[in-house]
Structure 1
Amino acid sequence: MKSLYLAAAFVGTLVPWIFFGGFIAENGINLPLFVAMIFATKPASGFAADLLICCAVFWIWSWRDARETGVRGWWLTVPAVWLVGLSLALPLYLWLRERAGEGE
């Protein structure tokens, strides 16, 4: 499973950054415009709200789980969510968790 989680983290980084890279190429690093575009329509707002709730629940669960299972490096999921998204943070955490379970 470790290899699968690592591959998922790679794909989960690459795919969003294909879109983010296009935005940055067209608009530069313009956070206000980026946020405005995320919430530009009601369907997009719904997806964004859903994702934000999932991120919050993931952080709460993974923080507690990391304490209970001895996962070191849990904090890496925080910048992973902000710089890429849950598509990186979740498989990254699961990879860290598998590693901790093996005693690494």
Structure 2
Amino acid sequence: MRWLFAAMAVWGTIHPMYYFVSWFQANTWDIMAMVDAWHANDAASGLVWDLTVAAVALTVWVIYEAVQTRQWVRLVAIPATFCIGVSCGLPLYIFIRMSKARAAGG
């Protein structure tokens, strides 16, 4: 099952990045222009805020569990979440978490 989450992390990296890179190539390599595009209408803004709240919740969970378990490798999910997206960070974190549980015999 953990390899399914690894595959989803890869998919969650490649698929969104295809659209981001395509947008940058068609428009400009200005990140603030992309942020403005994310708020082009209320539907897009709602989706941005939905993903922002999910990213913050995931970050709090990752930090809490990393501190509790002293398994600092879990923190890699935070930059994956904010540099790539929740579509990468969440399945990556679950993959890492399942790998550590399996190694610990759990």
TM-score when scaled to structure 1?
0.90
Per-residue CA deviation, residues 38-87 of structure 1 (Å, 9 max, x unaligned), is 01101100110111011001110121123334533122112212221000
Q: Is the 8 A contact 1:81 1:88 kept in 2?
A: yes
**Cα contact 1:72–1:96 (8 A) shared by 2:** no
Q: What's the secondary structure of 2:72's corresponding residue?
A: coil
The equivalent of 1:92 in structure 2 is 92
8 Å contact kept, 2:66–2:75 = no
Q: Is the 8 A contact 1:74 1:93 kept in 2?
A: yes
SS in 1 for 2:29: coil
Provide the TM-score with structure 2 as the length reference.
0.88
The equivalent of 2:45 in structure 1 is 45
Contact 1:66 1:74 in 2 (8 A): yes
Alignment of 1:4-19 (within 5 A): 4-19=4-19
The answer as to whether partners of 1:71 and 1:97 remain within 8 angstroms in 2 is no
In the alignment, what sits opposite 2:79?
79
CA contact (8 A) 1:72 1:100 kept: no
Structure 2, unmatched stretches of 5+, are none
Gaps of 5+ in 1: none
Contact 2:5/2:95 (8 A) holds in 1: yes
Using the alignment, how far apart are the partners of 2:71 and 2:92 within structure 1?
A: 11
Q: How does 1:15-30 map to 2 (within 5 A)?
A: 15-30=15-30
Number of equivalences? 104
RMSD of aligned Cα (Å): 1.5
- In the superposition, relative to structure 1, how do residues 66 and 97 fare at CA in structure 2: closer, same or farther (>3 Å)? same
Aligned-partner SS, 2:97: helix
